[in-house]
Amino acid sequence: MVSPIRAAVLTISTSRAAGEAEDLGGPALAAWAESIGATVVLRELISDDEAAIAARLRSIADEALAELILTTGGTGLAGSDRTPEATAAVIERPVPGIAEAMRLASRQFTSNWMLSRGLAGCRGAALIVNFPGSPKAIGQAGAAIAAALPHAIALLAGGADGH
């Protein structure tokens, strides 16, 4: 029997980390992760601080706390949106098709789809994926990658050689 994928969900938002606004993206992303069969083992709020985001992504991946690390927020054009930069500093191998598929899936829902700067990539045996901050967009973009993620995680774990 295959073990469920362990997922970590990180909401990237200074206001939400400070308790100034309700975190709607984190619960939506956790629910999405569970909908694809993952077990959410960690949920955290992190401020829009590039060094703090990168440090936490590294820690989760390097300590093998989760095979799938999902972030929500900080992927836009605002000066404080630093999630892609933090992710780029941490990943060892980019997986651009995941982010491209997510942006393309968003095209039918918003004319601003091309402004999302989210990335995806591997660090060790962990896959890191940046989601938008909008709960609605999480489901829309996530639908495009849901079927591929279990296979990606299996490949990172050294399995699924029949491809």
Residue 86 within any structural domain of the chain: yes
Q: Is residue 146 part of a domain?
A: yes
Tens-place pLDDT, residues 75-104 = 999 999 999 999 999 999 999 999 999 999
This prediction's pTM? 0.94
Examine the pLDDT at 110 and tell me if it is beyond 60: yes
| Domain presence at residue 161 | no
CA 38, chain centre distance (Å): 13
User: Which CATH number goes with the domain that contains 125?
Assistant: 3.40.980.10
Domain total of the chain: 1
- In the chain the beta strands, taken as DSSP E runs, fall at 6-12, 39-46, 68-72, 93-94, 120-123, 126-131
Residue 162 lies in a domain: no
Q: Which residues contact 88 (CB under 8 A, 6 or more apart)?
A: 94, 119, 121
Residue 1 lies in a domain: no
Residue 1 scores a pLDDT above 50:
no
Q: Could you tell me if residue 163 is inside a domain? A: no
Does residue 126 fall inside a structural domain? yes
The pairing of strands 120-123 and 126-131 is antiparallel
User: pLDDT of 52-76, one tens digit each?
Assistant: 999 999 999 999 999 999 999 999 9
pLDDT tens digit sequence for 131-157: 999 999 999 999 999 999 999 999 999
Boundaries of domain holding 29? 6-156
Interval 17-26 mean pLDDT:
89
Position 81 in a domain: yes
